[in-house]
Amino acid sequence: MIINYRPYIVRDPAICAGEPVVKGTRVTVRTILASLAEGMSVAQIVEDFPTLDESAVRAVIAFAAVSAEEDLPIPPAPSLA
C-alpha cells in the first residue's frame, strides 16, 4: 500500500515557481529525491531539513512512485492475428 501523500505535497505558483514542495515548507520534492539518490538516509534528511519529519519524506517517495507510474508508457496490446 502506498502512503497517502496528498496531505504532504502541494504546488503553489507563489512557492518555488510551482514546483511540488512539502506543505508548509519551501523544501522541494526534487531536493529530497536528490538527497536520497546521493545516499542520504531518511534520518539524515530530517536532520538537514528540520521542518520535515519522517512521514513527510516517505510521502515524497510515494509521490515520486505515483508520478513515475503515471509517466510510464502503456505497452500496446498483443495482436491475436
Give me the number of domains the chain comprises: 1
Q: At what angle do helices 54-71 and 29-37 cross, to 10 degrees?
A: 90
In a domain, 29, yes or no: yes
In a domain, 17, yes or no: yes
In a domain, 57, yes or no: yes
In a domain, 4, yes or no: no
At 58, list the grid cell: 516517505
What's the pLDDT score for residue 17? 94
Residue-wise pLDDT tens digits, 8-23: 999 999 999 999 999 9
- The CATH number of the domain holding residue 18 is 1.10.10.10
Residue-wise pLDDT tens digits, 23-72: 999 999 999 999 999 999 999 999 999 999 999 999 999 999 888 876 66
What is the extent of the structural domain holding 41?
9-71
In a domain, 48, yes or no: yes
What's the pLDDT score for residue 67? 87
For residues 8 and 22, what is the distance between their CA atoms, to the nearest angstrom?
5
